[in-house]
Structure 1
Amino acid sequence: MENKKVSRWATIVSYLKRFKWWLAGICVTILLAVAILVPLPYYVEMPGGAFDIAQVLTVNDKEDKEKGSYEFVAVSQVRATFAWLLYAWATPFTDITTAEETTGDYSEADYIRINQFYMETSQNTAIYQAMTLAGKSVTLDYQGVYVLSVSDKSTFKGVLNLADTVTGVDGHTFNSSQELINFVADLDLGADVTVQYTSQGQKKEAKGKIISLSNGKNGIGIGLVDHTVVKSDDKVTFSTGAVGGPSAGLMFTLDIYDQLSTEDLRKGRVIAGTGTIGMDGSVGEIGGIDKKVVSAAKSGASIFFAPAGDNYKAAVKAAKKYGTDMKIVKVSTVQEAIDYLRNTD
C-alpha cells in the first residue's frame, strides 16, 4: 500500500516537473514575442545605405553610361521594440530617439507625407539649380501652396492634410502664397470661405471660416509654402519611391549638372555626400550625418561632401571613428562642390 502511495506521488512530481518546463517554455516564447513584436515609443536610427543616383534619375531619357557614380546616402529609421533597443545599445553609429523627437507633432502618416514633400521640393530645386549652372533655359511655375501645418483652431483641421496643395480660395487663384495670405487677411472674421485644393492627385473643395491668427491677422489657419514645378526643354525624371526628406538635394544637383554639361566631373570616381540645396545654390545642414558617412564608406566612395559647420565636424569625427580614408570635403554651395571635382582627380 505504501509503495502505491509513493508511486502516485512520484508520478505527480514527474508531471509537475514536466508542466514547469512546459510553462517556462511558454513564458519564454511570450517574452521573446513581446521583445521582437511590441512597438515602443522610440525609434532606432542607423546607416541606411548609399544609392547610385543613376538608378533613380534620368536626364532627357538617356542612360548615364559614364564611369563612376554620384550617390545619395540615407538614414534608416525603424519603430523600436525591446529587441531593437538592445541592438542599438550594442551597435556603433546607431541611435535611439523618442517618437516625439523623430516625428515632432506629426502623426506617423503625416510625417511620411511631409518628408515626401521635402523630397519633391529638393528635386525641383536641384533641377532648377543644375540647369541654371549649366546655362539651360528654365523657369519655376507656381502651382499653388503646400499645406505644411494646420492650426488646432482652424475649421479646416482634419480636412486639409499636410502636403495637400491649395489651388484657390472662393474661386480666386493666386501667383504666390503671399497673394493667398493677403486675400484671406482681407476677409471678415467668421466669414464663410471655400478652399479649392488637390490631395493625392484628386481635386477637392472644402468649406470653413475665417479665424483670428496668432499674429492678429485674419486667415484660415494653415502654414504654407509655394508649390512650384520646373519648366524646361530638358527633361529630368525621378523615381525615388518612398524615400523622403530634403538631404539629397546637393547630390541630385551635381548629377543633373554633370549630365547636362559637357564636363565629366566624376572622372570614374564614386562620389557621395549630403546636404539640402537652396534656391541660391547654398548647401544646408542635415541630420544623421555620422550614419551617412558610414553608408558612403561601405559603398566604396572616395569622396564625401558634407555641409560646412557642425555637419562637417561631425562627418570628420565619424570617418575617423569608422576608420575610413574617404576624403571628407566641406562645402557651403554647390559651386564649391563643382569646383572641387573639376580641380581634383
Structure 2
Amino acid sequence: MKQHKRKITILVIVLLLLIGFFLPLPFYLETPGTAESLSKFVTVDGKRDRRKGHYMLTTVALQQARPLTYLWSKTQPFAETVSKESLMGGASNRTYEQMQTYYMQSSINDAITVAYRRAGEAYHKKYRGIYVMSLLAGSKFKGHLAIGDTVTKIDGHAFKSAQQFINYVKRQRVGQKVTVTYTHKQQVKTTTQALVKLPGTKRPGLGITLVDHSQVKTDIPVKVNVGEIGGPSAGTMFTLEIYDQLTGGKLRRGRKIAGTGTMDAKGNVGAIGGIDKKVVAASRAGATIFFAPDDPVTKADKKADPNYKNNYAVAKAAAKRIHSKIKVVPIKTFSDVVNYLKK
C-alpha cells in the first residue's frame, strides 16, 4: 500500500513538473537578452572587423510564458509580461516573424545607405517590387501568393513604389482579373486572379498587406548576416559598424560600445522597445558606452501617459538601477553618434 502511494506521489510530482515546464500560458515574457559583437555579422570588402574592442547590438529575450518561468520572472527586476495582442498586433506567428525579417532587412538597407553616403562611397538603391506581408482570408490570390513573395508586375506593368501599385489597382474594378508577376523563393512566377473588395471600403485590391521591397548595391561589397535576429532596432549600430570599417576603424579605439535605435535612410534615429533590458545586457557584456534614442516627448505622449519617459530617460534610469558605470549617450541622428565618438 505504501509503495502504491509512493508511486502516485511520484506521478503527481512528475505531472506538476511537466505542467510547470511545458504548459504554455497566454502571454510572453520579456527579459534582458544579449549584447552581440557586430563583427561576426558584418563584412566589408570581404573582411571582418578584427580591431580591438567591439560594437555591439543588444537584444531582448522573448519566450512563451510557462507556469515555472512566470513564477521565476516575478523575482527578476527587468522581466515583463506581454500579451500576444500587444506584441504581434493581431498577426499570426508566421506573419509576425515575416514582418520582423522584413524590418531587419530594411534596417540593414538603410544602415548601408547612411554609412556609405557619409563615408563618401558609392551605393545604388534598386527597387525590387512589392513585398507580401500577409494575405486576407477572402483574397483570390491566397494559395498562389505567399508571405515573403515579391510582386514585380501587375498586368505587365512595373512600378517604382507601393503607392504606384495601389494607384493602378484602384483604377480597376472588383471582380476584374489581373495578372501578377512575382518572385517566390528566387523563381519568377505568374498568376491571374480576380480583385476583391477591400474590407471597410468599396475599393478593389489583391487582398494583401504590402510594403516596398528595395535592395542596396555598393561598389565596395558589404554583407550583413544576422541569422534569426529580427526587427529594426539594431539599425544604428549596424550603421556604425559599417561606417567605421569603411573609414579605417578610427572611432572605437578599443572600447566596448553598445546601443540601439532604428535608422532611416536620412540618418535619423528612432525609438525602440525594451531599452531598459538592453542596457542591462550591454552592462553585463562590459560595454562602457550605450547609445540611446533621444526621441521627443510630445503632448500626445504625456496625455496618453502622464508618466511617459523617452528611450534615453528609461535607459539612464535602468543604468542607475543596476548601479552600472556605463555611459548612456542620447542620440537623435547618426551624426550625433559619430561626433560623440570623435571627441
**What TM-score do the two structures reach when normalised by structure 2?**
0.91
Asked if the contact 2:259/2:291 (under 8 Å) is kept, the reply is: yes
Of stretches 201-210 and 34-43 in structure 1, the one that deviates more from structure 2 is 201-210
* Corresponding residue of 1:134: 119
Give the equivalent residue in structure 1 for 2:288: 302
Distance 1:62 1:282, change over 3 A: same
Which of 122, 135, 145 is 1:160 aligned to? 145
C-alpha distance in 1, partners of 2:116/2:203? 39
- State the partner residue of 2:70: 85
2:213 is aligned with 1:227: yes
Alignment-derived partner of residue 203 in structure 2: 217
Contact 1:114 1:162 in 2 (8 A): no
Q: 1:188 to 1:216 in 2, by over 3 A?
A: closer
Please give the residue correspondences for 1:109-148 in structure 2 after superposition, counting only pairs within 5 Å.
109-148=94-133
Deviation per residue, 1:177-233 (Å, 9 max, x gap): 222112211212210122222234343333322233345433223232211111220
CA distance in 2, matches of 1:221, 1:202: 22
1:90 is paired with a residue of what secondary structure? coil
State how far apart, in whole Å, the 2-side matches of 1:278 and 1:81 are.
Answer: 37
- SS state at 2:74 partner: helix
- 1:152-178 Cα shifts (integer Å, max 9, x gaps): 443234543433211111232222222
**C-alpha distance in 1 between matches for 2:149 and 2:326:** 41
User: Is the counterpart of residue 290 in structure 1 residue 279 in structure 2?
Assistant: no
Q: Find the aligned partners of 1:215 and 1:61 in 2 and give their Cα distance.
A: 50
| SS of structure 2 residue aligned to 1:66 | coil
Match of 1:174 among 151, 159, 162: 159
Cα drift, residue 256 of structure 1: 0.6
Q: Report the AA paired with residue 199 of structure 1.
A: H
SS at match of 2:172: coil
Structure 1: give runs of 5+ residues left out of the alignment.
1-14
Partners of 1:302 and 1:183 in 2: how far apart?
Answer: 52
- 1:303 touches 1:328 (CA, 8 Å); kept in 2? yes
Task: After TM superposition, give the deviation of residue 39 of structure 1 in Å.
Answer: 1.6
Aligned residue number for residue 11 of structure 1: none
Between stretches 179-188 and 288-297, larger displacement belongs to: 179-188
Q: Which has the larger radius of gyration?
A: 1
Question: Which residue, out of 226, 243, 246, partners 1:260?
Answer: 246
The 8 Å contact of residues 75 and 288 in structure 1, kept in 2 or not, is answered as: yes
**2:267 & 2:211 partners in 1: Cα distance?**
19
1:18 aligns with 2:18: no
Partner of 1:6: none
Moved more, 84-93 or 322-331: 84-93
* 32-41 vs 248-257, greater mean Cα deviation: 32-41
Are the structure 2 counterparts of residues 295 and 165 from structure 1 closer, same or farther at C-alpha, using a change threshold of 3 Å? same
RMSD: 1.7
What is residue 333 of structure 2 aligned with on the other side? 333
Distance in 2, matches of 1:223 and 1:244, equals: 19
Amino acid at match of 2:334: V
Distance verdict in 2 for CA 1:201–1:86, change over 3 Å: farther
Which residue in the other structure is 1:197 paired with?
182
Distance 1:283 1:300 in 2: 24
SS at match of 2:9: helix
- How far apart in 2 are the matches of 1:191 and 1:339? 56
> C-alpha distance in 1, partners of 2:183/2:168?
19
**Cα separation, partners in 2 of 1:158 and 1:100, compared to 1, 3 Å:** farther
Query: What is the TM-score of this pair, normalised by structure 1?
Result: 0.90
Q: Matched residue of 1:234: which SS?
A: coil
Cα distance in 1, alignment partners of residues 270 and 41 from structure 2: 22
* Distance (whole Å) between structure 2 residues aligned to residue 164 and residue 35 of structure 1: 39
Residue in 2 that maps onto 1:5: none
Deviation at 1:86, TM superposition (A): 1.0
1:294 touches 1:318 (CA, 8 Å); kept in 2?
A: yes
Within 2, Cα distance between the matches of 1:207 and 1:32? 53
